[in-house]
Amino acid sequence: MNAKSIKLFFFLCLITNILLISNIASAQVSVVESAFETAESKGFSGVLLLAIDGKVVFEKATGYRSYEQKIPLLTTDIFEMASVSKQFTAMMVMMCQEKGLLEYSDNADKYLNIPYKGITIKQLLTHTNGLPDYQAVMDKHWDKNKVADNQAILEYLRKYHPPMLAEPGEKYEYSNTAYVFLASIVEKVTGRDFIDLSREWIFKPLGMKDTDIRTLEEKAKVSNFAAGHIKNKNGEYVNANKFHDSDYTVWLGNRKGPGRISSTAEDLLIWDQALYNGTQVSEKTLKSAFSPQSLNDCTLSYYGFGWDLGKDELLGKIVSHTGDNPGYKTLIMRFIDQNKTLILLNNNYHEANTELVESAVAALKGF
């Protein structure tokens, strides 16, 4: 075979491989399309985004931004992130650590006037702290005609002093209280407002133009804010904020740390990709955030710093987080060994959510 024939052979092989890859990708997109259409037919309202190496391979919206006004949902609409916010709070703590403002081994009561002693910042980050649920205390005692902030939450924990649920480091137990403490610690060590600092350190530098920690009044002024919806007694979807007493996002509307970030699917992809390039913290710091934690009995807890940790046989290491608010169900899944991303934002807390995620993960395995 002469040189010209060899070149032609390799060129034909290259074209064949490109066509094969293109066909595989097209087939996987079809799988997701079908799953999305099924969810749509069942009444799902939300946005699904899939990306590989930071490039969107599927993005679609269905349902309504507002059911009452019948405003169709767009992929650019802004959703409440709920507990997906915790990874941002954890990042603020990690940035403070790298700046020498705190250590993970520091006890929380070094910085905060709280009745719970011997709990480290690391145990706050990893939900291994044993703290009681602040929401239960506020639900029982707080005047829901007022809007609580972190200072009020700390005051009520001191006043009513609910007991610890476990010894620090004894076990994993999800703790919103811990992330209220973390945001308050960031404010203490920086002397700055947590919201202003989040904008300055994360949202603005990364170009997350639609991401913020908004008050109820600020959210009302955002024209493309996708309201969370739940069904009324007639089975009709209505704005979740109308159920005032049960909607803690209203009367706990000024809390910082465990929730309250609102964002878009595409802004979350910007955030996802920034975690690969070291613009926020060092690779060493991020590695610790994605590592399981050793408990007092030397068993491991698979929650890092604001991230659930998992592994898939084909996709490799997974770091993910869900978020639940009245009317909302959110998810970011990062398959960090392969730089694949799944983002799902749902604003009518629909049961089709789970099946759609399963289909999307299956499709990502085929890309």
Domains of the chain by residue range: 33-366
213-269 confidence digits (pLDDT tens): 999 889 999 999 999 999 999 999 999 988 765 678 788 999 999 999 999 999 999
What are the two backbone dihedrals, phi and then psi, of residue 350, each rounded to the nearest 5 degrees?
-90, 145
Structure tokens given for 285:
């710091």
Cα 268 to Cα 364: distance, rounded to the nearest angstrom: 18
pTM reported for the whole predicted model? 0.92
Cβ–Cβ under 8 Å, residues 153 and 138: yes
- For β-strands 229-231 and 300-301, DSSP reports them as unpaired
Decide if domain 33-366 falls under CATH 3.40.50.10140. Answer: no
In the set 45, 83, 175, 359, the catalytic residue is 83
Instruction: Map 222-281 to HEC letters.
Output: CCCECCCEEECCCCCEEEHHHCCCCCHHHHCCECCCCCCEEECHHHHHHHHHHCCCCCCC
Position 297, amino acid:
D
Q: Exposed/middle/buried for 145, CB within 10 Å: 0-12, 13-18, 19+? A: exposed
112-144 confidence digits (pLDDT tens): 999 999 999 999 999 999 999 999 999 999 999
Cα 7 to Cα 20: distance, rounded to the nearest angstrom: 20
Q: 22 catalytic, yes or no?
A: no
